[in-house]
Amino acid sequence: MIDFRPVLFVNGFLLLVLAAAMGIPAVVDLLSDDVDWKVFALSAMTTAFFAMALVFGARPKGRASLTSRQAFMVPVVAWTLTAGFAALPFVFSNLRLGPVDALFEAMSGLTTTGATVIVGLDRAPKGILIWRALLNWLGGEGIIIMAVVILPLLRIGGMQVFRMESSDKSDKIKPRITQVAASITLIYAGFTGLAAVAFWAAGMSRFDAVCHALAAVSTGGFSTSDSNLAHWGTAVQWVAVFAMMVGGSSFTLWTGPWKNWRPKVLDDAQTHWYLMFLGAFAGVLALWQWAVNDMTPGVALRHAAFSVTSVVTTTGFVSTNYGAWGGFAHVVFFVLLFIGGCTGSAAGGVKIFRWELLFALAGIHLKRLLHPHGVFVIHYNQRPIIPQVLDSVLGFVVMYFFTFSVFAVALTMVGVDLITALSGSASALGNVGPGIGGTIGPMGSYRSLPDAAKVILASEMVLGRLELFTVAVLFSRSYWRE
């Protein structure tokens, strides 16, 4: 029988962090003379009460440690439990969202998906706006730490390549989590601060700058306006492009040692592929807009770079309605929904690292057709990739597209049209936010979808965020056996 106490103990501390975070929108609303500060204060006290109950009631004897089986359960319980408590302010605030809408909004925020059911953001209380941005930021940091600490040890989707050399080789999860978390949080907060200053210098108010910095670096995509980044001008949109690019890069490499004032991230093969994807697709779409839709070169490049970066990094910010760019652009953006950012970032999707290995594997198969007796080895950053990693990557990609298909079919069964179902499933699984079409497109909203569809999409957000197998393994009979 699995001991649940360490799992609940860890989640108790996570709820304490969430409760403390609720104090920020409470103060913002209090300073703005908005009565919703009471909602956040009460939600914080309720969350803190349950958190303390878990911390003291489930405290294990001796030093707390997690086995690999318990480590599978921690992120699943964490994202489910925190989303439930994070939804409280949405239910009891002046927005008066229903339970399903509130849970959808909270889950979208914590998984950094950025899909929203709220209409009227320009008139929404500041407390709610900063709370949505904080959910993005907290969820993004949690995702990065999970990708660096837990997933490599659990050998999910080829992540064992990024296993820290200092990690314990036994089945106990005992990496230097304190040092890792501290360094990631420091660089994460530093980039957020720089982004906020840049947004403010580009023309945003201080409040909007902070909210968008929190959402951009976390690749969350929650904005303070229904028009999203189209509400602001050229300078703000270019700042957002670079902030999203940083958010989609590997934070573990930013925290690594610099050589000759050059960050390690610039020498990483994954970063090169990442920039290549962004540059190639942005260039193609900019050329399309200039040649076919008569957009001036500067404007075409800005909107193409912004939109491609937003989708590839799974941020979901919008600078213009790219849904009106025509069928070619629709197909391109649908493909981009499956790309994703770098491993070790807050971005979702399949991830650049896996695509790099898949293309290398395809190249190896072509070489074997010409040289049947040849010996070919796939390398990543000058290191050979063992077959177990390739098997893990292939298994993940197959599972990814199978899950996308199943949830797309499920959405059509509850009354969602085909285009919305396909793009909605891809967007939720990749934690992108906007889909394609008039309903959930770049200028649309998920509000009009039936409640059943919102529950399906929220579930898919968690699956995509936790790399599928972390959740799927809990439904395995062998997981529960001794």
C-alpha 106/C-alpha 347 separation (Å) is 17
The annotation status of 94 as a binding-site residue, yes or no, is: no
The annotation status of 398 as a binding-site residue, yes or no, is: no
> Position of tokens 């403390």?
20
The annotation status of 113 as a binding-site residue, yes or no, is: yes
The annotation status of 318 as a binding-site residue, yes or no, is: no
The annotation status of 327 as a binding-site residue, yes or no, is: no
The annotation status of 439 as a binding-site residue, yes or no, is: no
C-alpha 434/C-alpha 465 separation (Å) is 16
The annotation status of 234 as a binding-site residue, yes or no, is: no
Binding residues: 112-113, 220, 314-315, 431-432
Can you say which residues are annotated as belonging to the binding site for K(+)?
112-113, 220, 314-315, 431-432
